[in-house]
Structure 1
Amino acid sequence: MTLPRKGARRIVVGGTAYRWRLRRRPTYSQGLAWSPCTFAVEHADAPGTTLVVSTAQPHPSNWIGREARPVLPSDVAQAIELALRAGWSPTSPGRPYHLDRSVGFTPSFSS
């Protein structure tokens, strides 16, 4: 799975270029703040395994007005460094590598 080039941002971490992308529109579950915001990262020059990161906040464009801060490049760089230390190999082919950083996320539920 490779990221579409349109909408992907470039970031350099440890001298290596990556591309990352946050869905512009939330999924249904993210729109209702039932699931956390996620973003995807791949190696810029030799995409292999995609890194999928779950954050501890709702999607910034959620439909119920839950406050959320934007995903910053510093957040992405930190997630890349953590995933690399945990064994993510961005140039090797394979299934997406999931990094769960959603500790502390509380889903919204209607009563």
Structure 2
Amino acid sequence: MARTKQSAELEIEVGGEPYVWRLQRQAQWSSDAAGWRGMAIAVRHKEGQREAVLEFPPGPQPRYGAPQLKASQIAPELVAKAIASAIAAGWEPLSRGKTVAIVVDAAGG
């Protein structure tokens, strides 16, 4: 049986509302046309069910053997700005529905 490794959820407050987020995907190589894909974080309102996956652009490729990125190493300001951008783009965290994928820039905007 395959073992899944789920990263811990971290709490953050944006606009006076509580959210929880986790590192969904590390930056990785992809076989599609994009080639290198950036990291993605999954966010949801603490009382809500609808999740948003915020995808960042790929940065420089990590050196071979570099340590894996941990959620605790991501700046809370970057996460807060990305969540605010997702809400401005039309994500309704307290609504029901499928997970929404939103692409943000490297600064979270």
Q: What is the TM-score normalised by the length of structure 2?
A: 0.66
Higher percent of residues as strand: 2
Letter in 2 for 1:64: Y
Partners in 1 of 2:63 and 2:21 — Cα distance?
23
Asked if 1:82 is matched to 2:82, the reply is no
Greater relative contact order: 1 or 2 (C-alpha under 8 angstroms, separation 6 or more)? 1
Q: How far is 1:55 from its partner?
A: 0.9
Where does residue 108 of structure 1 map in the other structure?
A: none
Where does residue 28 of structure 2 map in the other structure?
A: 30
Q: How far is 1:71 from its partner?
A: 2.5
Where does residue 7 of structure 1 map in the other structure?
A: 8
Q: Secondary structure at the match of 1:88?
A: coil
Q: Deviations over 1:68-103 (max 9, x none)?
A: 984211111001111111111101111111111257
Instruction: For 1:1-111, list aligned pairs within 5 A.
Output: 7-23=8-24, 26=26, 30=28, 34-45=36-47, 47-58=48-59, 64=64, 70-101=73-104
Partners in 1 of 2:23 and 2:105 — Cα distance?
15
Poorly superposed stretches of 4+, deviation over 4 Å: none
Equivalent pair of 1:40/1:53 in contact (CA under 8 Å): yes
Letter in 2 for 1:94: G
Percent identity of paired positions between Structure 1 and Structure 2: 30
Partners in 2 of 1:89 and 1:17 — Cα distance?
14
Equivalent pair of 2:38/2:58 in contact (CA under 8 Å): yes
Equivalent pair of 2:7/2:23 in contact (CA under 8 Å): no
